[in-house]
Amino acid sequence: MKELIEYMARSLASEPDAVRVTESVEAGQVILRLEVAPEDKGKVIGRQGRVAQAMRVLLRVAAVKEGTRAMLEIV
């Protein structure tokens, strides 16, 4: 799941080397924190959050396939 988010974020960002994804488990669910360069935040979030919402949907599907729950935070 971490690799999926990292791949999508690197594809969108103009500075792919600045993309960082950290993974932690809290209360039985996986929490992924995505960090990008300040100028790339708008690209990753998208207009009215559409890109971020699409990333969250794909993450949720991947989590269900693995039998767990996951959440994406964009920092």
Its pTM stands at: 0.90
- The string of pLDDT tens digits covering residues 1-43 is 999 999 999 999 999 999 999 999 999 899 999 999 999 999 9
Q: Residue 18: its pLDDT value, please?
A: 95
Q: Residue 53: its pLDDT value, please?
A: 97
Backbone angles phi, psi at 26, to 5 degrees: -135, 130
List the CATH number of the domain containing 54.
3.30.300.20
Q: Residue 64: its pLDDT value, please?
A: 94
Q: Residue 16: its pLDDT value, please?
A: 94
Domain residues for the domain of 28 are 2-74
Residues 6+ apart with CB under 8 A from 71: 29, 30, 31, 32, 56, 59
**How many structural domains compose the chain?**
1
